[in-house]
Structure 1
């Protein structure tokens, strides 16, 4: 429970209904848009952010949440690229799957139209990779599927599509494992602070940081979760709070500038975030504002934990200085709902990410174990895990 006077409200999760029930189909450009009834997005134990259905890519349009729970069908590579650029689909693991499915879609469409499949794959890979430069999973997913295409094999396009579809189930499994590994670090009554959205909406399902929260909640270890609002696009207040409410986890939202003071007050036991790229030395690129939270956690003796799959660890990037930082549109800062709030002539600094030095990171939780920067050799552990069939041995799960 949160301390008295925090304005908390217990949220009761909505009851799921069968997928496909009473969906309303509306046109959105060339896309098909589904405005679902309550619970439409939730299948079984959770939400699946991105999937392959009827030969096309289906995603939750995250720009509409929480006001609308809409699923859109992406029917061209250009639509996939737009969905990534506009953050309709976002989050490092989800982008990896989106990139893979986008390449598969290009191959399928080229086959259907009689175009050269090799050329279509190359064009799609180039377009998709250019949309968001910081998230290494996007390029990883694209390269993984592109590199698996064998044009001389019978049924090569079908095999390519099936490999991409397999990545959907693989990501869901990996994220659940991250939660099970990370929950071992929690104590009973843990009060968690998280930043941006590293939940099911940032992956296929479960999430990374929120997977730890999900499993911790199942084990009775979570007292409450505080989400930063995450300006300027409010992924914390819009998306993370939406997910936590769906899971029935007690939660609240803090303004970004209030998070450091909250950590200093003793009301937070652990900070858990996701990552968009982890460099070979353990430096972490994540949503802008993460570095400030890590500094506050370090200054107050609060563990700072990063949750990320092995695919987010980029051993080809030596350190944080080598990570390209995406710059977003100034309008995200200077306007609110399309209305300008800053005086004309005012400029904006709007990076999507910042880099947290490895020295501030207590642990990096992966699907195969927990890595502690400064104590463990990240490169050796990751290479060993990747070379081992079945995902590799634990790299040191330690409370």
Structure 2
């Protein structure tokens, strides 16, 4: 994609409005922390890494808009901004990870003036965005090693350049395969209820000229049973310490059916998505969204008025159904409590070395 999904321009957070794709490609500007939080909540921007970068720029925006004249007052404003941003979408840990990193940097930054701290915060947000693209490329390289030439891959939701700052996680693995000349084909789940597969992943793969077919979510089991899927691959919004994966609703049943049919299941995530503070997926908060996402498509009612609706945005796939978790630090295999911790430690060491 020619433009990043998230970037900074003229003291505004710029976002590709993913609600309008594939019909319109629009980059919108957001100039207040409240507007940025609303864009995250309303899914102008979506995908855990992209949400994280947006949160980081939201913190920088809070600093530039703050009326504080001393460091402590600015830090108070940043803490309030962090609380507002974090509440926008609670499941994606990248959001609180990024805002926490921004606040920690501000608290320890060796600068005296408020203006210098504002500049330092923007530099940190830019670093988070730049690192995301670099991380995704390394992740894609590691993941591509698992995919054989000629493979048929089943992909859920959208995990590409739109879901990240650039390149992608699970789709980044697919892009890396294409760059290496591997002949691959992708089955694209439509991903109800918001149709991120139909609207976004299909759009990305067609632009990249990667062979694909869009399928109804309910076709996935048939394809697996009839031997037309070589691997299932998806991203995640949070990974617990034991390897349980929270991802877009519908992921769990794909992993179970894949296990039944002897098909490997890969989750592709940056280490920022791994939450070692949660022992298992049972502790991951699951966001519930509005009924109209289920009862309407593009404003057109598809269900009776007033029908009761339950609309969880994510489900949790227990780690026993995950073959491997692909990160920028390599491929993690069971026992995940050990391999994920090593990956997190390696990523932190890499970041410390880079900042020296």
* 1:131 counterpart residue number: 88
TM-score if structure 2 supplies the norm length? 0.93
* 1:183 counterpart residue number: 144
Q: Choose which of 357, 361, 371 in structure 1 pairs with 2:322.
A: 361
Q: CA deviation at 1:78?
A: 1.0
* 1:344 counterpart residue number: 305
Q: CA deviation at 1:160?
A: 1.1
Q: Choose which of 104, 118, 121 in structure 2 pairs with 1:147.
A: 104
Q: CA deviation at 1:54?
A: 1.6
Pair 1:85 & 2:41 matched? yes
* 1:25 counterpart residue number: none
Question: What's the Cα RMSD here?
Answer: 1.9
Q: CA deviation at 1:156?
A: 1.3
* 1:12 counterpart residue number: none
Distance of 1:225 and 1:366 partners within structure 2: 21
Distance of 2:336 and 2:44 partners within structure 1: 38
Q: CA deviation at 1:118?
A: 2.4
* 2:18 counterpart residue number: 62
Distance of 1:101 and 1:247 partners within structure 2: 28
Distance of 1:368 and 1:122 partners within structure 2: 31
Pair 1:271 & 2:232 matched? yes
Q: What SS does structure 1 have at the residue aligned with 2:194?
A: coil
Q: CA deviation at 1:222?
A: 3.3
More off after superposition, 95-104 vs 219-228: 219-228
Contact 1:263 1:297 (8 Å CA) reproduced: yes
* 1:10 counterpart residue number: none
Distance of 1:177 and 1:189 partners within structure 2: 22
Distance of 1:345 and 1:375 partners within structure 2: 44
Distance of 1:231 and 1:309 partners within structure 2: 24
Distance of 1:365 and 1:391 partners within structure 2: 22
Pair 1:122 & 2:83 matched? no
Name the structure where helix makes up a greater proportion of residues: 2
Q: CA deviation at 1:391?
A: 7.7
Q: CA deviation at 1:111?
A: 5.0
Q: Choose which of 43, 50, 64 in structure 2 pairs with 1:108.
A: 64
Contact 1:385 1:391 (8 Å CA) reproduced: no
More off after superposition, 172-181 vs 142-151: 142-151
Q: Choose which of 257, 265, 268 in structure 2 pairs with 1:296.
A: 257
Pair 1:53 & 2:9 matched? yes
Q: CA deviation at 1:335?
A: 2.0
* Structure 1 residue ranges, 4+ long, deviating more than 6 angstroms after superposition: 112-115
Contact 2:243 2:340 (8 Å CA) reproduced: no
Q: What SS does structure 2 have at the residue aligned with 1:225?
A: strand
Q: CA deviation at 1:383?
A: 4.5
Counterparts in 2 of 1:140 and 1:122: CA distance versus 1, 3 Å:
same
Q: What SS does structure 2 have at the residue aligned with 1:346?
A: coil
Q: Choose which of 171, 175, 191 in structure 2 pairs with 1:214.
A: 175
Contact 1:280 1:378 (8 Å CA) reproduced: no
TM-score if structure 1 supplies the norm length? 0.84
Equivalent runs, 1:238-317 vs 2, <5 Å: 238-317=199-278
Distance of 1:313 and 1:86 partners within structure 2: 24
Q: CA deviation at 1:294?
A: 0.3
Consecutive unaligned residues of structure 2, counting only runs of 5 or more, are none
Distance of 1:391 and 1:237 partners within structure 2: 40
Contact 2:271 2:344 (8 Å CA) reproduced: no
Contact 2:241 2:276 (8 Å CA) reproduced: yes
Counterparts in 2 of 1:337 and 1:283: CA distance versus 1, 3 Å:
same
Q: CA deviation at 1:386?
A: 3.7
